[in-house]
C-alpha cells in the first residue's frame, strides 16, 4: 500500500478529530502533510550557559530541574508554573501561565532544554512561557532551528512538529518530478532531502538550499505553464495586416500633440507584429498617462484600414465609456464607425444615440457587428459572449488597468482563440495594456509568453505632479489650497483607506464618516460625492460619471478610485493615512490627477513618525517615474504584497524569490530546453503530472 496516499484521519496518532482540522488547511494525506512547509523559523540552535544569559535575548539552555511548583494567583485566578533549572554555571527561573500540566512533566531531577526570550523582573532574569522538552529527546522544539507552521484553530506548530518527527521518514518515498540532470546541473537537493531540510534543517545553509530548490521548482513550473501557452498560441494563424506607412504618418501628423519616442517605438513594434500571419501576443506596459490609448488607436487604424474589425475590452463600464469618448474623438476625421456595447447601454458614432440595454437595441448593434458596419467595438468582457458574432475581427485589445490577472488573461486568450470572429482558421491578434509599471523580475516571471513594449516617457505637455508629505498640523493649509483650486473651476479627490471604522483601526478615518464631516464642517458650500467598495456596481458607475460631469467638486473615495477613472479637470488629490498604502498604489492614486496641461498636486497625509514610513513616502516626493516607484515598492514590500499574492496565485516560497532575477532566468532557460526536447512533456511523465497539479491549484495558465 502507498503510505503517502494514506488518509491522515486513519492514523492512530491523528484520528478523526485532528484529521478534520487538517482538512481545513487542505491537508488530507501523509504526502500533503509532508509538503506542509513552515513559513518561518525560531533560531534556538545556539545553546548558552545560564551565567551568560541577558535580558531581551532569545536563547536555549540545557540543565536539570531543581524545583517545580504550581502557584494560583488570587487576583486574576491564574495558574502559574514556576520552575528552576540549573547547569554547571548557575540557575534560571522559567514561568508558564495557565499551563499546569508543565509542573507535572518537569519534576525535580529531570534533564530539560528551555528556549525563548529572556525577561527580567525584581527577582532577576527568567524565561517567560518558553518552549521546552526533555533533554533525553531528539531536539524538536528547542536546541535547533525550530519550524513555525501555518496554523488553524485547534492546531499548534508544536503538535505539527511532533507529528512531523514521526512522519518525516516517509519523505524517502516521495517521487521527484524535476529531472535529475537539472537538479545535478544546479547543485540542488533531491525532493526527499529538500523536504527533510525544510522541516528540520541542521544548519541555516541546508535550509537555504532546500528553499532555493522549491523556489526553482515553482518558478520552473510557472515558466513551463506560460511557455506552453506561447507554443500553442504560436501554432495558430492570424490575419496578416499590411503596415500602411503613408496612412500612419498622415494620422500621426494630424494629432494635436507630438508622440514620444517610446510611443513611436511601441507602435512600430505592434504594427510589425500585425504584419505576421502569426497571432500577436504583446503587452503594452506603460505608466499612468504615458499615452497607451494613442498607440492602441494606431494599431486599430491599421487593422480597420486593411478591412478588418477591432474589439477593445475594458474592465468596467465607466472605463469602456471613457475609451469610447476618447477614441471617437481621435478618429473624428476618419471614416470609422465606433460602437460601445456594455451590459447597461450601447451607442455608435454614426448615430450617437445612447440606448439603455434592451433586447431590441442590443440585437440591432449585434447585427451591425455581424455585417461589419461597426469597425471598432468597445465594451467590457461581455464582448466575448457566445451570441456576439463578428464579420472579420482581426485585433483584440484588452485594457487590463494595472492588475496582472495572470489567470484571467490566459482564460481570455483561450476564449479569444474560440471567438466567432468571422475568419475561419484564424484567431485575432492580441494586445494587452497595463498601467502598472512592472519591474523586470516580475516581467520575466509572469509574462514569459508575451512580447513586451514599454512606454517609459511622459508626453511633453504634462507638468510633473507636485507631491508633498503633509503632517497633521498643516491640514488646514491643504484644505484652504483645495478650496482655492475649486474656486478656479477645478476638482479634487480625497482618498481614505477604509470604508467604516473597525475595532482595531479606530484611529483611521472611515470614508463614510469623513464624507459627512467634510460636507458639514469643512466644505459646507461645495458638492461632495462619495465612492466606496460597498456600493453596487451601477452606483459606483453613476458616482464616477457624475464626478466627470462636474456634478461634484470633490470626490471622497476609498481605494476603488484607483481603477483608471479619467477626470482631466481634477488637479488635487489628498491621500489620508498614506503609509497604509503601497507605493505603486499611491502612484496609481496620484495618476488620477495631472491628466491635462494644468498643474496638479498630490498631498500625502501621514501621522506616522517612523523613519521607515517617511523614507518610503519620500520616494513619492522624489520621483514621478512609475517604473522607479515599482522597483522601490518591490524592494520594500516584497513581491507578495506588491502583486497581492492572491492575484498571482504563487506559493509563498516562489513569492519570496521573485526578486532573484538569476533564478527566474535559469528557470526560463530550463523550461525552454525541456519543452524543446518534449513539447507535450510525455518524456517527463512525473513533471507532466506535477505541472497539471500545479496549474489546477495555482490557476496560473
Does residue 180 have a pLDDT over 90? yes
Mean pLDDT of the 392-399 span: 92
Max alpha carbon distance in the chain (Å)? 95
Length of the chain: 701
The secondary structure of residue 559, as a DSSP letter, is G
Q: 675 or 152, which is more confident?
A: 675
Q: What is the mean pLDDT of the chain?
A: 84
Confidence grade of residue 107 (pLDDT, cut at 50, 70, 90):
confident
572, 590 Cβ separation under 8 angstroms: no
Pair 396, 524 in one domain: no
Q: Which domain holds residue 251?
A: 245-455
**Cβ–Cβ under 8 Å, residues 480 and 603:** no
Show the beta-strand stretches assigned E in 152-308: 281-286
Specify whether the CB–CB gap between 521 and 552 falls below 8 A.
Answer: no
Of the three residues 623, 650, 683, the one that is the final residue of a domain is 623
| 12 and 81 within one domain | no
pTM for the structure as a whole: 0.73
CATH number of domain containing 125: 2.40.50.140
Same domain, 132 and 154: no
What pLDDT is attached to residue 700? Answer: 42
**CATH number, position 569:** 3.40.50.300
Q: Average of pLDDT values for 430-439? A: 83
User: What is the per-residue pLDDT for 278?
Assistant: 92
Same domain for 410 and 545, yes or no, is no
Looking at residue 31, its pLDDT comes to 92
Q: Is residue 220 part of a domain?
A: no
Q: Is residue 212 within a helix (H) or strand (E), and if so which, with residue range?
A: helix 204-234
CA distances from 558 to 241, 299, 468 (A): 43, 35, 20
**pLDDT attached to residue 411:** 54
Domain's final residue, options 578, 593, 623: 623
Strand order from edge to edge, sheet including 355-356: 355-356, 345-348, 338-341, 376-379, 309-313, 393-399, 429-434, 281-286, 451-455
In a domain, 636, yes or no: no
Instruction: Give the span between the Cα atoms of 527 and 483, in whole angstroms.
Output: 12
Residues 161 and 75 both lie in one domain: no
Q: Is 275 helix (H, G, I), strand (E, B) or coil?
A: helix
Of residues 390 and 633, more confidence is placed in 390
Q: What is the pLDDT of residues 507-531, one digit of tens each?
A: 345 678 888 999 999 999 999 999 8
**Above 70 in pLDDT, residue 463?**
yes
Which one is predicted more confidently, 637 or 259?
A: 259
340 and 486 together in one domain: no
Q: Are residue 283 and residue 425 in the same domain, yes or no?
A: yes
The answer to whether residue 677 sits within a structural domain is no
Give the mean pLDDT of 28-47. 87
| Per-residue CA distances from 551 to 542, 555, 679 (Å) | 11, 10, 58
pLDDT > 60? residue 625: yes
Phi, psi at residue 679, to the nearest 5°?
Answer: -55, -35
Q: How far apart are CA 474 and CA 479, in angstroms?
A: 9
Instruction: Sheet containing 466-470: give its strands across.
Output: 466-470, 601-605, 570-575, 491-495, 554-557, 528-531
- Residue whose C-alpha cell is 495594456: 433
Q: Is the pLDDT of residue 394 over 80?
A: yes
Are 37 and 125 in a shared domain?
A: no
In a domain, 200, yes or no: no
Q: Could you tell me if 647 and 404 are in contact, meaning their C-beta atoms sit under 8 angstroms apart?
A: yes
The answer to whether residue 3 is domain-embedded is yes
CA distance 639 to 635: 8
Q: Which of 191-200, 266-275, 325-334, 533-542 comes out lowest in average pLDDT?
A: 533-542
- Give the C-alpha separation, 227 to 83, whole Å: 60
Judge if 614 and 543 occupy the same domain.
yes
pLDDT at residue 510, rounded to an integer: 67
Q: Is residue 633 part of a domain?
A: no
Residue 693 located in a structural domain: no
Confidence at residue 351, expressed as pLDDT on a 0 to 100 scale: 64
Q: For residue 84, what is the DSSP state?
A: E
Residue 143 main-chain phi, psi, to 5 deg: 65, 20
Pairing of strands 466-470, 451-455: unpaired
For residue 248, the model assigns a pLDDT of 94
Q: How confident is the model at residue 647, as a pLDDT?
A: 43
DSSP-derived 3-state class of residue 444: helix
Number of domains in the chain: 4
> Does residue 106 sit in the same domain as residue 29?
no
Q: Are residues 30 and 124 in the same domain?
A: no
Q: Which of 511, 417, 477, 446 is nearest to 668 (CA)?
A: 446
The grid coordinates of residue 333 equal 476625421
Residue 234 lies in a domain: no
Asked whether the CA dihedral 393, 395, 400, 405 is positive or negative, the reply is positive
Could you identify the residue written with the cell 484611529? Answer: 507
Q: 49 in helix, strand or coil? A: coil
pLDDT tops 50 at residue 196: yes
> φ and ψ at 42, to 5 degrees?
-95, 130
Residues 413 and 554 in one domain: no
Tell me the pLDDT band of 388, cut-offs 50, 70 and 90: confident
Distance separating alpha carbons of residues 468 and 614, to the nearest angstrom = 11
Amino acid at each position: 500500500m502507498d503510505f503517502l496516499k494514506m488518509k491522515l484521519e486513519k492514523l492512530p496518532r491523528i484520528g478523526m478529530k485532528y484529521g478534520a482540522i487538517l482538512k481545513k488547511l487542505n491537508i488530507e494525506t501523509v504526502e500533503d502533510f509532508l509538503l506542509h512547509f513552515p513559513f518561518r523559523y525560531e533560531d534556538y540552535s545556539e545553546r548558552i550557559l545560564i551565567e551568560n544569559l541577558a535580558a531581551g535575548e532569545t536563547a536555549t539552555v540545557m540543565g536539570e530541574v531543581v524545583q517545580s511548583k504550581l502557584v494560583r494567583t488570587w487576583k486574576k485566578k491564574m495558574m502559574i508554573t514556576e520552575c528552576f533549572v540549573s547547569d554547571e554555571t548557575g540557575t534560571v527561573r522559567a514561568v508558564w501561565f495557565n499551563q499546569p500540566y508543565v509542573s507535572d512533566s518537569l519534576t525535580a531531577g529531570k534533564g530539560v532544554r528551555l528556549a525563548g526570550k529572556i525577561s527580567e523582573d525584581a527577582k532577576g532574569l527568567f524565561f517567560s512561557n518558553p518552549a521546552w522538552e526533555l533533554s533525553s529527546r531528539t531536539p524538536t522544539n528547542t536546541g535547533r532551528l525550530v519550524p513555525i507552521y501555518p496554523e488553524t484553530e485547534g492546531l499548534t506548530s508544536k503538535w505539527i512538529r511532533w507529528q512531523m518527527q514521526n512522519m518525516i521518514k516517509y519523505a524517502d518515498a516521495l517521487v521527484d518530478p524535476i529531472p535529475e540532470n537539472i537538479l545535478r546541473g544546479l547543485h540542488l537537493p533531491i525532493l526527499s532531502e529538500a523536504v527533510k531540510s525544510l522541516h528540520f534543517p541542521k544548519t541555516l545553509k541546508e535550509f537555504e538550499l532546500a528553499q532555493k530548490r522549491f523556489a526553482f521548482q515553482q518558478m520552473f513550473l510557472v515558466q513551463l505553464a506560460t511557455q506552453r501557452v506561447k507554443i500553442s498560441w504560436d501554432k495558430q494563424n492570424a490575419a496578416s495586416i499590411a503596415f500602411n506607412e503613408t496612412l500612419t504618418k498622415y494620422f500621426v501628423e494630424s494629432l494635436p500633440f507630438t508622440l514620444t519616442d517610446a510611443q513611436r517605438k511601441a507602435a512600430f513594434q505592434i504594427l510589425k507584429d500585425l504584419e505576421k500571419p502569426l497571432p500577436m501576443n504583446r503587452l503594452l506596459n506603460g505608466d499612468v498617462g504615458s499615452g497607451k490609448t494613442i498607440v492602441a488607436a494606431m494599431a486599430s487604424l491599421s487593422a480597420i484600414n486593411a478591412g478588418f474589425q477591432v474589439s477593445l475590452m475594458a474592465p468596467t463600464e465607466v472605463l469602456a465609456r471613457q475609451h469610447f469618448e476618447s477614441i471617437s474623438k481621435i478618429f473624428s476625421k476618419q471614416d470609422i464607425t465606433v460602437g460601445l456595447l456594455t451590459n447597461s447601454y450601447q451607442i455608435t458614432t454614426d448615430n450617437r444615440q445612447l440606448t439603455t440595454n434592451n433586447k431590441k437595441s442590443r440585437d440591432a448593434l449585434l447585427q451591425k457587428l455581424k455585417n461589419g458596419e461597426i469597425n471598432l467595438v468597445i465594451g467590457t468582457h461581455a464582448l466575448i459572449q457566445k451570441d456576439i458574432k463578428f464579420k472579420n475581427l482581426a485585433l483584440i485589445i484588452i485594457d487590463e488597468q494595472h492588475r496582472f490577472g495572470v489567470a484571467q488573461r490566459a482564460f481570455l486568450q483561450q476564449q479569444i482563440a474560440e471567438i466567432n470572429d468571422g475568419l475561419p482558421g484564424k484567431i485575432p491578434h492580441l494586445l494587452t495594456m497595463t498601467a502598472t509599471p512592472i519591474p523586470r523580475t516580475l516581467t520575466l516571471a509572469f509574462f514569459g509568453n508575451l512580447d513586451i513594449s514599454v512606454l517609459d516617457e511622459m508626453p511633453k505637455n504634462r507638468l510633473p505632479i507636485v507631491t508633498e508629505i503633509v503632517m497633521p498640523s498643516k491640514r488646514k493649509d491643504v484644505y484652504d489650497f483645495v478650496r482655492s483650486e475649486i474656486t478656479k473651476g477645478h476638482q479634487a479627490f480625497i482618498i481614505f483607506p477604509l470604508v467604516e471604522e473597525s475595532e482595531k483601526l479606530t484611529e483611521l478615518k472611515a470614508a463614510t464618516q469623513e464624507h459627512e464631516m467634510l460636507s458639514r464642517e469643512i466644505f459646507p458650500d461645495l458638492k461632495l460625492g462619495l465612492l466606496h467598495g460597498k456600493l453596487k456596481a451601477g452606483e459606483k458607475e453613476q458616482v464616477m460619471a457624475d464626478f466627470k460631469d462636474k456634478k461634484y467638486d470633490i470626490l471622497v473615495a476609498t481605494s476603488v478610485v484607483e481603477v483608471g477613472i479619467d477626470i482631466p479637470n481634477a488637479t488635487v488629490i489628498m491621500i489620508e493615512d498614506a503609509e497604509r498604502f503601497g507605493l505603486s498604489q499611491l502612484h496609481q492614486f496620484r495618476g488620477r490627477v495631472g491628466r491635462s496641461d494644468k498643474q496638479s498636486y498630490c498631498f500625502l497625509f501621514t501621522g506616522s513618525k517612523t523613519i521607515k514610513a517617511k523614507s518610503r513616502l519620500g520616494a513619492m516626493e522624489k520621483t514621478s517615474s512609475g517604473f522607479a516607484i515599482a522597483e522601490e515598492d518591490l524592494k520594500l514590500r516584497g513581491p507578495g504584497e506588491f502583486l497581492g499574492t492572491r492575484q498571482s496565485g504563487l506559493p509563498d516560497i516562489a513569492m519570496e524569490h521573485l526578486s532573484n532575477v538569476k533564478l527566474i532566468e535559469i528557470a526560463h532557460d530550463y523550461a525552454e530546453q525541456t519543452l524543446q526536447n518534449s513539447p507535450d512533456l510525455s518524456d517527463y511523465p512525473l513533471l507532466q503530472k506535477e505541472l497539471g497539479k500545479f496549474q489546477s491549484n495555482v490557476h496560473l495558465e
